[in-house]
Amino acid sequence: MRLRFFFLLIIGLLLTAPLDAQEVVIHEDLKGDTLKPTFGMNRKHYRHSFLGSHFFLGDSEGPSGKLRTGLSWAMEYGIRYKRRFNNVFSGGIEWSVKRLAYIPSDWGMAVLPYEEEIRKERLVLIQTGPGIYQRINFQKRRGDFIGRFLDLGVYGYWNFSSRHVYSYDNARDERVKVKTSRLSYIQPFDYGVLARLGFNNFVIRGSYRFSDHFKENSGMEEFPRFSLGLELGLHPK
């Protein structure tokens, strides 16, 4: 009985449903096609997002500080605007959010209750801010694509989040994880210069940080200032 009811209900719904005479498979409107676009990879305006990652090069500025190369790294996501001046020169601004994780091999910032050994320790900064750059393109004659280029620019970031994390095993052999946020010894702003060598979507990027991460009276040894990494331009097709 119940099955019959559902069967009749479905039939009823099908019969009462509006039945379209047609289903549009393709619709192309050519009325606006005479307008010359100004937005594109090699047009007057362009905007795209990007993903990046880089490592820090060198040692900290002090006798004890060494970062664990390969584990200390940053990742970045941003949006970039490009204004084309001509086929060689363009410039623009970008805004990005970046997470930097410094993992020291022998740092000793952690405050431990007894003589325990630190298992893991890292300093994480999350920053956001603008960059401004000048682009020189090496392919003078090219169509609507990015091409090969060199970017030179500056950046300034606000460290809106800072966190020191470490863990150790206590006397009962339990793993204890300690997190400290809003670190008072971290400078609020970063700034530096950057350079990028691009091959269409793929970019090798390097930067040098002029500002210090740590406040002058903190007694902390400054982390490496050079970084080198890769970036992937996300260009909508």
Partner 1 sequence: MKHIFFSPALLLILLFVGSATGQQAEFNRASEPVENVWVFFTDKKGVRFDPLDFFHPKAIERRLRHGQDLMDPMDFPVREEYLQGVRQLADSTDVVSRWFNAVSVFAHPAQLERIAALPYVARIQPMTLVALPAGREEEISLTANLSSELQELREAQISHMKGQWFFEHGFDGQGIRIAIFDAGFPGVDEHPVFQHIREGGQIVATRDFVRRRQDVFGKNSHGTSVMSLIGGMDDSLRLGLATGAEYLLARTETWTEYFSEEKYWLEAMEWADRMGADIINSSLGYTYHRYFPEEMDGQHSLVAHAAQKAFQKGILVVNAAGNEGSSKYWGVIGTPADVTEVLSVGALDFPSLIRADYSSKGPTADGRMKPNLAALGTAVVAGKNGLKKSSGTSFASPLLAGFAACLWQKYPEWTNRQVYDAMQHSATLYPYFDYSHGFGIPQANYFFADPGNSFRPTFDFVSTPEGVKVMIHIKSLKGEEDPADRFLFYQVQDEKEKILEYFVVKVHLIEALTLDPADFSPGQKAVVHFEGYTATWNF
Binding residues vs partner 1 (CB under 8 A): 19-31, 36-37, 40-43, 85-86, 88-89, 91, 132-134, 139-145, 152-154, 156, 191, 193, 210-212, 236-237
Q: How far is the CB of 170 from partner 1 (least distance, A)?
A: 40
Q: What's the angle, vertex CA 192, arms to CA 94 and CA 218, rounded to 5?
A: 125
Q: Residue 98 in contact with residue 76, Cβ under 8 Å?
A: yes
Q: How far is the CB of 220 from partner 1 (least distance, A)?
A: 14
Q: How far is the CB of 73 from partner 1 (least distance, A)?
A: 24
- Residue with Cβ nearer partner 1 (78 or 147): 147
- Residue with Cβ nearer partner 1 (48 or 99): 48
CB burial string 37-68: b at 16+ within 10 A, e below: eeeebbeeebebebebbbbbeebbeeeebbbe
- Residue with Cβ nearer partner 1 (31 or 172): 31
- Residue with Cβ nearer partner 1 (48 or 122): 48
CB burial string 201-216: b at 16+ within 10 A, e below: eebebebebeebbbee
Q: How far is the CB of 53 from partner 1 (least distance, A)?
A: 24
